[in-house]
């Protein structure tokens, strides 16, 4: 039996569990399971691995995308740049696991933990087809973990980016700074905050939606509901809109590709 799963806290709902359960059934993939592993403290991570020797791969969600990197033997350059991991491949022969085994008892034998960030791939592939020549400047609403992957992709695409946050600091601007004049230049707006996520569907980021036009593109990482109030207000002004559902699908499929790849990662640095 090959085991896969998601670690994070809390795990009140999971796109990934439902997605992989349906994938295994539809594609007749037998002897594979995908489960939720709710751990509030990463100090419990070694015990999770020890108790589940069949684990071949894990997805990682908040609040562990950064802290889990401490346990990894190798991290993909994209994930290093983003400084966040949301996908772990578990293979044989890990010097780090051997070191931990004597202290915290990860397992009785060695294995190797490799970290990736599939949010980068999912966001980039879902965003690129929507971009027009006017999308040279972007506002990223929120500064949480997901915004790291978003910023990395926008930099890669040579799109100038400003963060918008409740607390201004350095290159972060406040919501009060998002004026109609600013929106005349920043025509790509990405919401990485949880505002508008079910069940609180009457919430949305506080920006001047009346200044949006048909040249704007609004992207919301939220997928539940299908159309958040943020996207609804943008659509009503003629803006193009996109939710996070395709990004999640692309991210999940990239994880599956990584877990089943025979490519050998470089040795741990």
Query: Of these residues, 2, 18, 65, 128, which one is catalytic?
Result: 65
- Is residue 185 part of the annotated active site? The answer reads no
| DSSP string across 117-166 | -HHHHHHHHHHGGG--TT--EEEEE--SHHHHHHHHHHHHTT-EEEEE-S
Instruction: Report in angstroms the alpha-carbon separations of 19 from 34, 125, 177.
Output: 9, 19, 39
3-class DSSP assignment, residue 266: coil
Give the Cα separation of 222 and 112 in Å (integer): 33
Name, in order, each residue with C-beta under 8 angstroms of 203's C-beta and a sequence gap of 6 or more.
Answer: 195, 196, 229
Q: How far is 141 from 192, CA to CA, in rounded Å?
A: 6
Query: Is the bond preceding residue 199 a cis peptide, omega within 30 degrees?
Result: yes
C-alpha of 202 from chain center: 24
Q: Confirm if 209 and 235 have CB atoms less than 8 A apart.
A: no
Q: How many angstroms separate the CA atoms of 89 and 71, rounded?
A: 12
| Catalytically annotated residues | 65
């Amino acid at each position: 039996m090959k085991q896969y799963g998601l670690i994070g806290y809390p795990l009140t709902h999971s796109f990934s569990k439902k997605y992989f359960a349906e994938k295994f059934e539809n594609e007749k993939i037998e002897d594979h399971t995908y489960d939720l592993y709710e751990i509030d403290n990463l100090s419990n991570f070694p015990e999770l691995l020890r108790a589940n020797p069949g684990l071949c791969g894990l997805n990682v969600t908040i609040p562990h995308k950064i802290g889990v990197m401490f346990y990894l033997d190798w991290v993909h350059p994209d994930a290093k740049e983003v400084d966040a991991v949301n996908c772990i491949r578990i293979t044989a022969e890990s010097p780090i696991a051997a070191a931990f085994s004597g202290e915290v008892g990860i397992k009785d034998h060695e294995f190797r933990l490799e970290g990736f960030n599939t949010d980068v791939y999912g966001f980039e592939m879902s965003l690129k087809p929507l971009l027009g020549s006017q999308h040279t400047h972007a506002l990223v609403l929120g500064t949480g973990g997901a915004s790291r992957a978003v910023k990395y992709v926008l930099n890669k695409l040579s799109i100038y980016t400003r963060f918008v946050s409740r607390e201004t600091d350095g290159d972060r601007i406040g919501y009060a700074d998002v004026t109609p004049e600013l929106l005349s230049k920043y025509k790509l707006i990405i919401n990485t905050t949880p505002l508008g996520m079910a069940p609180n569907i009457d919430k949305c980021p506080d920006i001047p939606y009346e200044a949006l036009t048909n040249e704007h593109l609004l992207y919301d990482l939220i997928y539940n509901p299908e159309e958040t109030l943020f996207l609804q207000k943008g659509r009503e002004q003629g803006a193009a809109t996109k939710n996070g559902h395709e990004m999640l699908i692309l991210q999940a499929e990239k994880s599956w590709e990584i877990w089943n790849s025979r490519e050998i990662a470089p040795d741990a640095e």
